[in-house]
Amino acid sequence: MKASRYDIFMYGSIIGVPVLLILITIGLYLGGGYAYTVTVLAALLVLTLVVFAATGIKEIYIHRTYPGSRKVFGRGTDEHASTKPKVRKGEEVDIVLDRFNNETSKMDTKTYKFYADRLTTVLGAILDIKAYQDNTVSIRCNCRMGICGSCGVVVNGKPRLACETNLLNAVENRRVRVSPMLGHPLLKDMANNFEDFFEKHRSVEPFLYREDERERESARHEYGQGSEDLSRFLPYSYCIMCGLCLDACPVVNSNPNFAGPQALSQVWRYYADSRDQKGKKRLFDVDTEEGAWGCEFSGSCSKACPKGVGPASAIQMMKGELMKRIFEDK
């Protein structure tokens, strides 16, 4: 198994810290003092340089892992991150924007020159173009840190969050092509209309249901959960409603009435939560051709999801639960 930069840094620290402690102990044993402190610091510096040189680490990324999710998140951790950038920082790249013209309802393609920087994201580049080259460019964005789910676009043919896609890593043949998601109606340029998407999300009642009406307004006590209860739904609660999974889904693209991977994964998220009392009714509500059974299990939704939600697995588990009904009824 290939170690990630995170592993290398972690194991480097595991080795480096005890070595440092040994050096400090030796320094103290020999009498301590200014000379020894300098020696120890120099040794630490040399050690760090050796580890960095040996592992090829030139930049340290801040990575975050979410429990229950199989993905590692962080700027520069996209799927291109393990490959070397195809251009060096400061080199000129072409950013090709496929812009939806809301007056002609056609797509216009425009190319902009951009001087790439190592930490620039695709979103950063587009906002820079908007600020300094063409203020008519439109894109939805908000947090710029992979949280709000607003900046979904298609980068070189793949649905991605623009703010989490490193520009240099995405460059192919000295250019990056950014297009709007076609799985949602278009408003302007790369900005989509998410009304249908949110409506589908709302339709599955994505909140905890309690039978006691008073509890719906305010909790009456703590609703304890063990780690097993938590692990049943936790990955599905990471959804940031970016809509990338719908854009990637071949069924949504051919049948707009299909509930779609996001809404269906939320059905499972609340069904699997031990605090929810709606039980199987949640599943029966999507026991239709435009619900769970519409899914053809292409798996592209899970692949596109930037948060490791895995809608495809949620839908298959849902189908499994629904199948049990056949035997229960007999």
Binding stretches for ligand FES (CB under 6 A): 141-144, 146-151, 161, 163
Residue 304 binds ligand SF4, judged by CB under 6 A: yes
Q: CA-to-CA distance for 318 and 284, rounded, in angstroms?
A: 10
Q: Tokens 């993905």 sit at which residue?
A: 71
Residue 309 binds ligand SF4, judged by CB under 6 A: yes
Number of residues that bind ligand SF4 (CB under 6 A): 16
Half-sphere exposure of 102 (CA within 13 A, CB side): 13
Query: Helix 34-55 vs helix 5-29: angle between axes, to the nearest 10 degrees?
Result: 160
Residue 262 binds ligand SF4, judged by CB under 6 A: yes
Site string for ligand SF4, 125-154 (x = CB under 6 A): ------------------------x-----
In whole angstroms, how close is the CB of 240 to ligand FES at the nearest point? Answer: 7
| The residue type at 14 | I
- The residue range among 64-72, 82-90, 166-174, 302-310 that interacts with ligand SF4, by the rule CB under 6 A, is 302-310
Residue with Cβ nearer ligand SF4 (76 or 149) = 149
Which of ligand SF4, ligand FES, none sits in contact with 239, Cβ below 5 to 8 A by type? ligand SF4
Instruction: Report the DSSP pairing between strands 152-155 and 106-115.
Output: unpaired
Q: Is 241 left (phi over 0), alpha (psi -120 to 50) or beta?
A: left
Residue 307 binds ligand SF4, judged by CB under 6 A: yes
For 275, the token pair is 């605090």
Beta bridge partners of 99: 108
* 153, 311, 312, 318: residue in contact with ligand SF4 (rule CB under 6 A): 311
CA 327 to chain centre: 38
In contact, 149 and 160? CB cutoff 8 Å: no
Residues in 224-253 at the binding interface with ligand SF4, rule: CB under 6 A: 239-245
Residues engaged in binding ligand SF4 (CB under 6 A): 149, 239-245, 261-262, 265, 304-305, 307, 309, 311
